[in-house]
Amino acid sequence: MDTDKVFDLCSSVCIRGFFSVFMNVRFEVNGIEKVVEAPPMKRLLDVLREELRLTGTKEGCGEGECGACSVIVDGEVINSCLVPVCQVQGCTVLTVEGLSRDGRLDPLQQAFLECGGAQCGICTPGMLIAARALLDENEQPTRDEIAQAIAGNLCRCTGYVKIIDAIEQAAEIKER
């Protein structure tokens, strides 16, 4: 066997070995500490949906373009389809399931209901997460600031106006 073939064989064995390795990833999800055993490069999106059964977070494009998979990690909105689970070791993750508290909807969820901000619903969890991150930083955003905050979240149904209305209405509710 020539040297190149030996090298190719070694590379593929290493790569297969790498993907079959599992690691324990410890992180907080919606206020609860979790330890997940998963391949380190498994997408956070898949770990949330498949391992933790948090199926509120959606997959749209799977390529970082639509925002359907948005979650908040350590205060920043990220696309969970692009982040390997090993990168959230020790982090705090908020998904759409963590927005309601004590059985009460987050004001954003209530406003989306009242304003018709959700139609098919695929974009809605990501929109809510992006909006929550905005309101956590800026309690009284302008409509332009709202539009900017959800610019990475695509909606094929609403035309965005009702979504912006809903976020604006939620911002007017003092008790968040």
32, two tokens: 């609860």
32-38 and 23-29 as β-strands: parallel, antiparallel, unpaired? antiparallel
119, two tokens: 């139609």
> How far apart are the C-alpha atoms of 176 and 173, rounded to whole Å?
7
- Dihedral of alpha carbons 64, 22, 72, 116, sign: positive
User: Least distance in Å: CB of 175 to ligand FES?
Assistant: 27
Distances (CA, A) of 7 to 19, 41, 85: 19, 24, 30
Stretch that binds ligand FES, among 5-13, 21-29, 97-105, 154-162 (CB under 6 A): 154-162
Neighbour count for residue 71 (Cβ, 10 Å)? 28
57 belongs to the binding site for ligand FES (CB under 6 A): no
Q: How many residues of this chain interact with ligand FES, rule: CB under 6 A? A: 23
Span 2-21, contacts to ligand FES by CB under 6 A: none
User: Least distance in Å: CB of 4 to ligand FES?
Assistant: 38
Binds ligand FES (CB under 6 A): choice among 40, 52, 157, 168: 157
Span 113-152, contacts to ligand FES by CB under 6 A: 118-124
Residue 73 is which amino acid? V
Span 63-122, contacts to ligand FES by CB under 6 A: 64-69, 79, 81, 118-122
Residue pair 170/130 in contact (Cβ under 8 Å)? The answer is no
Binds ligand FES (CB under 6 A): choice among 52, 62, 97, 168: 62
Q: Note the residues at the interface with ligand FES (CB under 6 A).
A: 59-62, 64-69, 79, 81, 118-124, 155-158
